Amino acid sequence: MTYDILVVGSGIAGLTFALKVADRRKVAVVTKKEKVETSTNYAQGGIASVLGSDDSFDLHIQDTLVSGDGLCYTDVVEMVVRGGPARIQELAQMGVRFHQSKQDEQSFDLAREGGHSRSRIVHAQDMTGREVERVLVSMAEAHPNITLYENHIAIDLIIECHLLKRGLLTAQRRERCWGAYVLDIEGNRILTFLARDTLLCTGGAGKVYVYTSNPDVATGDGVAMAYRAGAEVANMEFVQFHPTCLYHPHAKNFLISEAVRGEGGRIIDKRGEAFMEKYHPLKDLACRDVVARAIDTEIKQSGDDCVYVDISHRDDDFLRQRFPSIHEKCLSLGIDIAREPIPVVPAAHYMCGGILTDKQGRTSIKHLYTLGESACTGLHGANRLASNSLLEALVFSHNAAEDINSQPTSPAEEISFPEVPPLEMPSNANDSEMVLIAYNWDIIRRLMWNYVGIVRTDNRLRLAQNHLAQIQHEINEHYPNISLNSDLIELRNLATVAELIVGCALKRKESRGLHFNVDHPQKDDEHWQQDTLTRLDQWS
């Protein structure tokens, strides 16, 4: 199959980009489950942008830089913050129904979240991501130049220098991406998608941990594929743990939005005592890294299973209108948030590191772009500010689309694609080894939670590294001999991402932002105010 552009992922970044380039180009959007099963769809809080009369770009920039703890790229932060209002208005014009202000129906209701000095979160109650995804999916389905491939999972990128290495091409070696091999899950066949430009918008890797707010699709596929292809990856040690994930045996991955604290919710312990004032002057509105470590410390000291977010002092009608999804979910589990506190624990939430890109989303491999959570753009630094993620996706998808739209167009049929051999299914598959998948999937996630969590030590990191090396050996040994399926592909990617997180964490001999190492508790600007870069240099 040949296309002008291949987009891997159907979240806000991938679909926004696709819609901006599809009028002049033929676009394939590949997504490994249903098109709405994305991290975007699970985003509750909203999108940060400077729209209030008491706000300013300088304030939003400063809040982002403070949260990023010295590792943000200032020029990128300025670009994203200043580009925000136009992108919000664009979504509104598309039909996204943001919550309007009761005082002025011509303006948006703006919420406040942790780390923000002003109320600047545009939202659709507590279902912002779902509302944005609704509009983008509808528009993509209606566009004649966009083809959506659901239940298709990318296996590996097609890189020109890899083909040269195998003697399949004779031209001068170039590190250029020509698309990807993709497994049609329902059809049980491997397809070759060729494209002049490829975009990885595959989201994060929260499923590398036992407890996460992420959907099941968040297995780090884009980062793992790009790393195997030779792209530069950066800052993988900075894993954001959201402080408040609902703690209940029947509540899988359900987030209690930071906006609950923005509306006056307090974090308390089992005895009803508030404790955040011990950890930060902003108390419950401190940045996520501070709150998550505080909760982790309190739970370990007390031996309790969880802490609580208490917003029961707010009016029931207000809670139903402002947080309809949270209110309904909690009530279904027997928790009335208007009368009792909500049990919560920290959970893996967001990858601040990823595939290194420039301001247009371009990676170190020609014609390979990365957008959204898969990317490391320089915006988030060592800790993402709340609700800056969807903002980043919107601004960078706009930039990437402008970059590609500025290039000469020619139909995909006229592009001189290289001769790419098909990727074959294993001919002598031994499916008795399928037990490897379930076992190692569980081992990786528990290993990462216990050894590479909110608080780390050098010894635990080294132990994790040794365990992961053995798991990788098993995967590499058995991968060619097991029937290819989505679980095996995801396991391979999870193992790669886990190794990248551990490797970067071992390199950084300090504590900064989301990376806290007991053996190196101080921040070291002299040696470590820089990105942690890594690359698999297989082809030198």
Catalytic residues: 288
Torsion, Cα 99 243 461 302, to 10 degrees, reads -170
Region of 29 please: left (phi>0), alpha (psi -120 to 50) or beta: beta
Assess contact for 46 and 167: CB atoms under 8 A.
no
Cα-Cα-Cα-Cα dihedral sign, residues 492, 493, 495, 496: positive
Helix (H) or strand (E) holding 265, with range, is: none
Reference 28, options 149, 144, 158; nearest CA is 149
Assess contact for 67 and 378: CB atoms under 8 A.
no
Q: How far is CA 176 from the centre of its chain?
A: 25
At 351, phi and psi to the nearest 5? -95, 115
Helix (H, G, I), strand (E, B) or coil at 302: helix
Reference 129, options 18, 19, 203, 65; nearest CA is 203
DSSP state of 452: S
Contacts for 452 with CB less than 8 Å, ≥ 6 apart:
239, 460, 461, 464, 498, 501, 502, 505
Amino acid in the structure at residue 21: V
Assess contact for 333 and 251: CB atoms under 8 A.
yes
Reference 359, options 91, 89, 73; nearest CA is 73
Assess contact for 258 and 381: CB atoms under 8 A.
no
Q: Which residues of 377-401 are buried (b: 16+ CB within 10 A; e: fewer)?
A: bbbbbbbbbbbbbbbbbbbbbbbbb
Tokens 């033929």 belong to which residue?
Answer: 26
Tokens 């959970």 belong to which residue?
Answer: 347
Instruction: Judge residue 510's burial from the number of C-beta atoms within 10 Å of its C-beta, 0-12 exposed, 13-18 middle, 19 or more buried.
Output: middle
Assess contact for 236 and 503: CB atoms under 8 A.
yes
